[in-house]
Amino acid sequence: MTTEFKVGDRAVYPAQGVAEVVGIDTKEIMGTSQTFYVLRVLDSDKKLMIPIANVATVGLRNIINDEEVEEVYDILRERDVDLNTQTWNRRYRAYVEKVQTGSAFEIAEVLRDLNLLKFDKTLSFGERKMLDRARRLFVQELAIAKDATEEEIINELEHLFSA
């Protein structure tokens, strides 16, 4: 099932964040006509072209809906989690894989785990960067999904993890 986007729609591009569809272009490449979504990543202004035929492959997806917002908050509230006791670099690799899926649920798990982990120990440099990246991707999507400001989402997260 391929999700169809229109110009002006916002979508999540894995590991890049929220992007706006700014155009739909057709180009001829090696004698074959291909249609592309032209995306502008919101926080970096980076332009990307995704062949419409590859949308599912690259993981481009809609912003989460209200029901999914509740599910990600349930993940964030979960405290009875088995925090990975592997070495930090093994944990880090697992977190990278989760973030690269582009799944709001996987990113919520990374955010939760790293926030809980930092109460027990000092995070490595890589883990701190991963926490910042997961937070940025998460806040961006939630702000749009909840029609809130990024500041409001950041405050909610701080409240959730300080409790």
Question: Which pLDDT tens digit goes with each residue over 148-162?
Answer: 999 999 999 999 988
Same domain, 152 and 73: yes
Q: What is the pTM of this model?
A: 0.87
Answer whether residue 113 is part of any domain.
yes
Question: Residues 46, 89: one domain?
Answer: no
2 band by pLDDT with thresholds 50, 70 and 90: low
Give yes or no: residues 45 and 100 share one domain: no
Q: Among candidates 57, 68, 69, which has minimal Cα distance to 156?
A: 69
Residue 149 lies in a domain: yes
pLDDT, one tens digit per residue, over 85-123 is 677 788 889 999 999 998 999 999 999 999 998 888 888
- In this structure, is residue 1 part of a structural domain? no
Taking residues 133-142, what's their average pLDDT? 93
Residue 78 and residue 57 share a domain: no
- Would 2 be classed as within a structural domain? no
Residue 63's closest CA among 135, 134, 115, 5? 5
Residue-range definition of the domain harbouring residue 107: 66-162
